[in-house]
């Protein structure tokens, strides 16, 4: 405990394995124009960049930084784009190994880590098997999907077994950003707009919107989806989305049962990762309420001290602060340690 009346549980905290780093290095060495590979080139080859070392460390360095900033727990997930650029067999193997390593780190440091399981959406059948193993045998707390897979999204029928499994297991899917698909990224390449500055939110917000308006949340009404970065822009558009949906819906064969904003409130939880901005937090509290927001740092891509100072100093009640810092994460991820 950090000495306050709450624990600080950070819910979007990245890690990597040497096996994933090796696979991504082979993709980088093979060449290609994917902006995901540009991201990994920075991790692998920039001498002044210690992010890869921080991603690989689940022991001394990370825990020391957590302790120095009063952070009680990291909910760990495999860094973007996870295994989703690899061929299906290699992706499944590296995901399963990463989940084993994650479970071992949690066992080494009880009470300091929880974990989201990776899987390979490229093979939905195998993905479901790994999802079930990760929750029932490894005791992991949910799932990480780095948004699109080969330009495809989880609302498409081929991925419904994944959604069905997550709902049945009672474990949320955290949809984490990655770069836009190759066919869409063109205008974003200029001015570095493909990055977390803009493109990541545009792509991941699209994924969230597809889930909302596709009807899959009527099919899987208890499914929980987590979006970082205060909802990847969706909360700021709730009026416009609700206003325009009835006008657009007549063009589509699937009609959803509720207003789009009702799915956002019922099926989504958002996190503060990388959005250390009090006005944005206060707005999201007004739209979604304090039960639907969790604290996150986005380590090692964002600094722990800034994220702690942001939430400690937020102009909100201590009751809401406690929910955002810990209670919501304990509930959504069923954390017992």
The pLDDT of residue 195 is: 93
* Cα separation, 286 vs 265, whole angstroms: 12
What's the total number of domains in the chain? 1
Is residue 81 reached through a cis peptide bond, with omega within 30 degrees of 0 on the bond before it? yes
pLDDT exceeds cutoff 70 at 3: no
pLDDT band per the 50, 70, 90 thresholds, residue 253: confident
298 is catalytic: yes
Specify if 112 maps to a domain. Answer: yes
Task: Write out the two tokens for 133.
Answer: 């193993």
Specify if 212 maps to a domain. Answer: yes
Place of tokens 């979006």: 227
State the average pLDDT over residues 276-283: 98
Specify if 175 maps to a domain. Answer: no
* Calculated CA dihedral for residues 261, 265, 267, 268, nearest 10 degrees: 100
* Cα separation, 261 vs 238, whole angstroms: 6
Specify if 170 maps to a domain. Answer: no
Catalytic, out of 298, 305, 318, 320: 298
What mean pLDDT, rounded, does the chain reach?
A: 95
pLDDT exceeds cutoff 70 at 4: no
Specify if 84 maps to a domain. Answer: yes
pLDDT band per the 50, 70, 90 thresholds, residue 241: very high
Q: Quick check: 123 and 152 in contact, CB under 8 A?
A: no
Specify if 177 maps to a domain. Answer: no
Q: Quick check: 116 and 143 in contact, CB under 8 A?
A: yes
Task: Write out the two tokens for 284.
Answer: 């999201």
Domain that holds residue 302: 9-161+182-332
Specify if 1 maps to a domain. Answer: no
* Cα separation, 288 vs 215, whole angstroms: 21
pLDDT exceeds cutoff 90 at 251: no
CATH number at residue 206: 3.20.20.140
pLDDT exceeds cutoff 90 at 49: no
State the average pLDDT over residues 134-155: 98
Specify if 168 maps to a domain. Answer: no
pLDDT exceeds cutoff 80 at 320: yes
The pLDDT of residue 1 is: 45
């Amino acid at each position: 405990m950090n000495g306050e009346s709450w624990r600080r549980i950070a819910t979007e905290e990245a890690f990597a394995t040497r096996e994933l780093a090796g696979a991504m290095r082979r993709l980088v060495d093979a060449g290609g124009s994917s902006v995901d590979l540009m991201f990994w080139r920075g991790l692998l080859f920039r001498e002044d960049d210690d992010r890869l070392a921080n991603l690989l460390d689940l022991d001394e360095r990370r825990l020391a930084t957590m302790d120095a900033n009063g952070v009680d727990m990291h909910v760990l997930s495999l860094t973007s784009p996870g295994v989703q650029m690899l061929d299906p067999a290699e992706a499944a193997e590296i995901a399963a190994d990463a989940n084993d390593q994650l479970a071992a780190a949690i066992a080494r440091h009880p009470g300091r880590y929880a974990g989201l399981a990776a899987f390979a959406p490229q093979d939905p059948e195998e993905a479901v098997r790994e999802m079930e193993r990760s929750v029932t045998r490894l005791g992991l707390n949910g799932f990480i999907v780095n948004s699109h897979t080969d330009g495809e999204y989880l609302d498409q029928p081929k991925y419904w077994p994944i959604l069905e499994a997550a709902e049945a297991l009672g474990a949320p899917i955290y949809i984490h950003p990655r770069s836009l698909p190759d066919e869409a990224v063109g205008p974003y390449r200029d001015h570095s707009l493909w990055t977390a500055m803009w493109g990541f939110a545009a792509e991941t917000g699209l994924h969230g919107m597809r889930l909302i308006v596709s009807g899959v949340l009527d099919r899987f009404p208890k499914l929980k989806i987590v979006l970082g970065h205060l909802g990847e822009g969706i909360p700021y558009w709730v009026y416009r989305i609700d206003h325009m949906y009835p006008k657009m819906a007549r063009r589509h064969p699937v009609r959803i049962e509720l207003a789009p904003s009702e799915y956002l409130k019922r099926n989504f939880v958002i996190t503060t990762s990388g959005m250390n901005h009090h006005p944005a937090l206060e707005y999201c509290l007004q739209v979604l309420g304090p039960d639907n927001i969790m604290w996150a740092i986005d380590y090692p891509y964002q600094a722990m001290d800034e994220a702690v100072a942001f939430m400690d100093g937020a102009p909100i009640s201590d009751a809401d602060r406690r929910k955002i810092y810990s209670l919501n994460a304990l509930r959504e991820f069923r954390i017992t340690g």
